[in-house]
Structure 1
């Protein structure tokens, strides 16, 4: 049961980090495509950061699942 709690806690932390990253977006002063063009670098940085955080989260989840399988397999 402890492993499931740790996995849920890890998922929650990753979700909180992704949410805080979204809250950092500021509303542009202009409207339309020129305003979006000004935010291009910020959006690309956000996309890269989001991809990296989600990749780390998936790696952690896969590690825990693999560890759980290995511990069950070699516990006999």
Structure 2
């Protein structure tokens, strides 16, 4: 169980750093005009919010530290 916490924490930590560094983005598609069955759609690339990256770093660090604390306490 501790290994799972450490792995999930590391994944969240790396993903959070990736987002805070400005590399995280996603595509959003919206319908601009719709006439009958025809539709004109536009796709925009949007950045993932910084607060989400910071949250990932904090939660990831807590999980990693919790996993290691349980590991050392048990041995």
Task: Return the TM-score normalized by structure 2.
Answer: 0.43
> By percentage of residues, which structure has more helix?
1
Look at both structures and tell me which one has the larger radius of gyration over its CA atoms. Answer: 2
Q: TM-score, normalised by structure 1?
A: 0.42
- Which of the two has greater strand per residue? 2
